[in-house]
Amino acid sequence: MTNGTGKHGGEHGSGGSPDPDEAALSARLGSLNDRLSRTLDDRKLQADQSDGGSGNPQARASAMAVGLRLSSELVAGVVVGTILGWLFDRLLSTSPWGLIVFMLLGFVAGVMNVMRSAGVGKKP
């Protein structure tokens, strides 16, 4: 059902010549689109430079390997401390104090190992 009054219901103008308001709005939107595209391109470039290009699979795998190593060191410290505390409690009947103390010591040792591996703490 076309009434020949334009695509917006015929309120402004007729035929093929656009309204000056629509032309100004279209120009502003085009300018905004260009600025937005430039800004997005600049941010992508900055992100690639600051990451060292971490988008490649080798860098991502290397970061994952470091994360798994650090988390396994923390878990290992807690597990070893818990086992030693449980054995201490079984041998000396001091339950649950040995387990609690050695679990806390294992946690501290695990955190220190993680810090040392990450380069935060002192290395021997």
Summarised one tens digit per residue, pLDDT across range 67-122 is: 999 999 999 999 999 999 999 999 999 889 999 999 999 999 999 999 998 888 56
Per residue in 42-64, is it b (16+ CB within 10 Å) or e — as a string? eeeeeeeeeeeeeeeeeeeeeee
**Torsion sign across C-alpha atoms 65, 71, 75, 76:** positive
Predicted structure pTM score: 0.51
